[in-house]
Amino acid sequence: MQINEFIELIEGMPAAYIKPLNSIIISDTHLGYEGQMSVSGTLIPNRNLSFIEDIIEKAVIITGANRLIITGDLKNDFSDLKYYERKEVGELIEFCEKLSIKLILIKGNHDNYLDRIKNSYNVEIIKDYLLEKGFYITHGDELPKCSADTYIIGHEHPSIVIYRQVGNGEKMKAFLYGDTKDGNKLLVLPACSMFAPGSNINEEGKDELLSPFLKEICDVDNLNAICISENENLNFGKIKDLRNIIV
């Protein structure tokens, strides 16, 4: 789905393609989640990394991109770089090398101690990314340091929930896209993780939101929710029209 002349949301995937940068961009992969759960006594299959790699490979084939940007929360644990996180991060870096794509990692609030991998891998790890063509890419847990034509963030894990008259709801991961209060553009990426279903943006008040981007530099009700279905993306319209909706 083309949302403007520069940005394409890849159908059926939590990934976007930035044409002027020839880059795939994803967010909030939360590698190591299964390992962290196993330490606490809950065993779940190790499937998240292969899920992410499949998305990356398909996106590169579709677009021909030569660069992958991950906008923060590459890993899951706050406090340290656990051995299972280091292993999965290393496997993802090696996977990108095999695809011959440059990997750029933007640090999120979960990515404490991620710099430790620099001694083992030749990978760029940064906090903010102000790029040519007016793109400012960051995790989204802090306000931008300067103005840009287009902001791209993660952090919020947006989703939309639609209730049926019988009472059950259907939850869908969603991109958020629209204007800031200054007339610039904002794109919020959904989590690229099997285990991060997302926050129900159309049910939350502004004070419940995570990102200061959504609290301070835009009116979230005027952003469009573009939901990810099995093989396509669906524009559900503005958040304000999706609050308390029943079908």
Can you give the pLDDT of all 247 residues of the chain as single tens digits? Answer: 999 999 999 999 999 999 999 999 999 999 987 877 777 778 777 899 999 999 999 999 999 999 999 998 998 777 777 888 889 999 999 999 999 999 999 998 887 878 888 778 888 888 878 776 699 999 999 999 888 999 999 999 999 998 876 667 789 999 999 999 999 999 999 999 998 878 899 998 888 999 999 999 999 999 999 999 988 999 999 999 998 765 5
**Closest listed residue to residue 128, CA positions, set 113, 141, 115, 118:** 141
Give the integer Cα–Cα distance in Å for 4 and 210: 26
Fold of 7-241: Purple Acid Phosphatase; chain A, domain 2 (3.60.21)
CA–CA gap between residue 111 and residue 98 (Å, rounded): 24
Indicate the domain borders of the chain.
7-241
Nearest to 56 by CA among 125, 20, 103, 124: 103
Helix (H) or strand (E) holding 212: helix 212-212
| Cα angle: 130, vertex 132, 136; to 5 degrees | 30
Which residues fall within 8 angstroms of residue 39, CB to CB, at 6 or more apart? none
